[in-house]
Amino acid sequence: MSENKFYLRMEGISKAFPGVQALKDVNFYVARGEIHALVGENGAGKTTLMKILTGALSMDSGSVSLKGSHVEINTPTDAQQLGISMIHQELSLIPNLTVGQNIYLGREPRWKISAFIDWNRLYTDSQELLSQLDVDVDARAEVGSLSIAQQQMVEVAKAISLNADLIAMDEPTSSLTDRETEVLFDTMRSFKKRGISIIFISHRLEEVFEISDWVTVLRDGSLIGSEPIKDLDEERVVQMMVGRELGEMYPKGDVQRRGVILEVNNLHDGRELSGVSLELYSGEILGVAGLAGAGRTALAETIFGVRPAITGDIELDGSPVKINSPGEAIRLGMGLVPEDRKQQGLFLNRAIRENIVISALGKLSRFSFINFSKADKLAREFAVKLDIRTPSLRQLVRNLSGGNQQKVVIARWLTLNPRVLILDEPTRGIDVGTKVEIHALMNQLAEGGVGVLMVSSDLPEVLGVSDRILVMREGKVVSEFSREHATQDNIMHAATGGKVNSDK
Ligand SMILES: Nc1ncnc2c1ncn2[C@@H]1O[C@H](COP(=O)(O)OP(=O)(O)OP(=O)(O)O)[C@@H](O)[C@H]1O
Ligand SMILES: [Mg+2]
């Protein structure tokens, strides 16, 4: 095999952060026109490797070559000039600029004679890019007004507009719907035909197997293997990732449901919800499925007081309650793990420990002194339960890997011992091993009598975890299925408005 077969060669890459060896002597080779999946558990080093490739981080040792020649990539501009672009795991768009401004930031098209920005061209070109991607977003809209999925697609449009030969996509699909993912995959396939290489990071192995030609697995910063997809199956990849056999993906105990703990009647938020009613029982996991825009997040947020309800009643344990803010919801014994954990959940410049216990602090302080040893114990307990990978709980959350940051938010809500726990996309961006842990924790909570309401776009998860499933469409609950009768087909059917046989 000739050395130049590879478009990209990264060799002997090492990188240490205080207390963590994030990459240990990693070799990574990508061929031209190949879709190359990079997989591994949360904290395995995937993002670090891509940041080194794209000049966002420097390496301690190692070398990089492109098309057979050694290259020095010290800044993101170096990478761009070499035809390498990256779609970041944490969205890096500027919320108060428009979509078009974000796409062409720093390289705005200009009038030939004057140096003024050609706004018309900027917006026409961006709109064209978006429509190529089948994204229904106005290029003149402010990015801050878009959903996370839409923002993700804007990132994709931006990467494409850079005309790169190599695109690193760090979990581009984690907040996309199936339909949006398919559109992205079509785009990736057409890139491939044009000889563009793509590095694809995802925790969804079905996707990895659908789209990739080659898979490289990292574990704890080391290269575990790199093989063509045709020589692998999911089980083997999981084994390489976690280094052990994994238990049942959806452990499900025999939980007895008790009385109704939360009742919602005819809830409207004046925008996305048009009359939602539901009952959540103590001891059950109620799954809420539906397409993006069906109102699932609106439902979670309206119940929890994040958005005001226009009309509708909520009863908790049989008593009517008014929930006008998340603070009130928390006082009533409710918790919400939000979908957009990065924006709504974390204090990035605070320690992991503080982030975990911050909501529980009220319970841990007496005479307004914080009981630090209790706080420490609590933080440690949940860090272990959720397998948060870090050298120290004093580490800033900013320095955690994406998936580990998510675990911190989940841990925080669990410390509150809520009676009703709402989880919006609880395992998005979470690795397979921890997914199992989170599902097990949800079961434990239900066994302990908590009512768990889980919104998820991951159908196998909805089917595997829920005792009962509601399907939402256009701001309403349109179907209900028992665990026994729910299938991927009848849920999708209900979600898209086809005819289905539901239990009701
Ligand atoms: N700036 C930083 N300071 C300190 N430690 C860091 C920093 N960035 C990353 N790390 C650590 O390096 C390790 C690798 O992190 P990385 O973000 O590369 O993981 P990942 O494979 O992308 O995980 P995920 O699937 O959760 O996104 C982790 O232990 C992480 O905590
Ligand atoms: Mg990452």
pLDDT value for 365: 57
Domain 3-242 has CATH 3.40.50.970: no
**So where are the chain's domains?**
3-242, 247-333+419-431+444-504, 340-417
Distance, in Å, from the CA atom of 442 to the CA atom of 433, rounded to the nearest integer, reads: 15
Q: Looking at 113-122, 268-277, 415-424, which range is the least confident one?
A: 113-122
Q: Is 122 exposed, middle or buried (0-12, 13-18, 19+ CB in 10 A)?
A: buried
Q: 326-347, pLDDT tens digit by residue?
A: 889 998 999 999 887 666 678 8
Q: Is 120 exposed, middle or buried (0-12, 13-18, 19+ CB in 10 A)?
A: exposed
- State the distance from the centre of ligand 2 to the C-alpha of 39, rounded, in angstroms: 10
Among the bound ligands, name the one nearest to the CA of residue 241.
1
User: In the predicted model, is pLDDT for residue 1 greater than 60?
Assistant: no
Distance, in Å, from the CA atom of 82 to the CA atom of 75, rounded to the nearest integer, reads: 11
- Which atom of ligand 1 lies at the shortest distance from residue 41's CA? 25
Containing 124, the helix (H) or strand (E) segment is: helix 119-132
Alpha helices in 466-504 (DSSP H): 488-496
Map residue 472 onto helix, strand or coil.
strand
pLDDT value for 156: 84
User: In the predicted model, is pLDDT for residue 308 greater than 60?
Assistant: yes
Please report where in the chains the tokens 């080093």 appear, as a residue: 45
- Buried b / exposed e across 205-218, counting CB within 10 Å, b at 16+? bebbeebbbbbbbb
More confident residue, 383 or 91: 383
- Which atom of ligand 1 lies at the shortest distance from residue 221's CA? 14
Ligand 1 cavity residues, CB under 6 Å: 17, 20, 22, 40, 42-48, 89, 389-390, 399-404, 431
247-333+419-431+444-504 fold? Rossmann fold (3.40.50)
Which of 21, 48, 169, 173 is the best mutation target for the ligand 1 pocket, counting ligand atoms within 8 Å of the beta carbon and taking the most? 48
pLDDT value for 347: 87
The residues, any chain, with a CB within 8 Å of residue 222's CB and separated by 6 or more, are 24, 25, 26
Q: Output the residue whose Cα is nearest ligand 1's atom 3.
A: 399
Name the band, by pLDDT with cuts 50, 70 and 90, for residue 502. Answer: very low
Q: Output the residue whose Cα is nearest ligand 1's atom 31.
A: 400
Q: Looking at 23-37, 88-102, 106-120, 125-139, which range is the least confident one?
A: 106-120
Distance, in Å, from the CA atom of 319 to the CA atom of 300, rounded to the nearest integer, reads: 19
Q: 168-200, pLDDT tens digit by residue?
A: 999 988 877 777 788 889 889 988 998 999 999
Distance, in Å, from the CA atom of 251 to the CA atom of 248, rounded to the nearest integer, reads: 6
If you average pLDDT over each of 132-136, 157-161, 284-288, 376-380, which comes out highest? 284-288
- Which atom of ligand 1 lies at the shortest distance from residue 401's CA? 17
Alpha helices in 163-295 (DSSP H): 178-193, 205-211, 234-242
Map residue 29 onto helix, strand or coil.
strand
User: Residue 51: left if φ>0, alpha if ψ -120 to 50, beta else—which one?
Assistant: alpha
Distance, in Å, from the CA atom of 275 to the CA atom of 268, rounded to the nearest integer, reads: 5
User: In the predicted model, is pLDDT for residue 503 greater than 60?
Assistant: no
Q: Output the residue whose Cα is nearest ligand 1's atom 22.
A: 47
In single-letter form, the type of residue at position 296 comes to R
Q: What average pLDDT is seen over the chain?
A: 88
- State the distance from the centre of ligand 2 to the C-alpha of 434, rounded, in angstroms: 15
Q: Output the residue whose Cα is nearest ligand 1's atom 12.
A: 22
Q: Does 247-333+419-431+444-504 match 3-242 at the fold level?
A: yes
Q: 291-301, pLDDT tens digit by residue?
A: 878 999 999 99
Q: Output the residue whose Cα is nearest ligand 1's atom 20.
A: 43
- Dmax over Cα atoms in the chain, in whole Å? 75
Q: 447-490, pLDDT tens digit by residue?
A: 999 999 999 988 889 999 999 999 999 999 999 999 999 999 99
Containing 12, the helix (H) or strand (E) segment is: strand 6-17
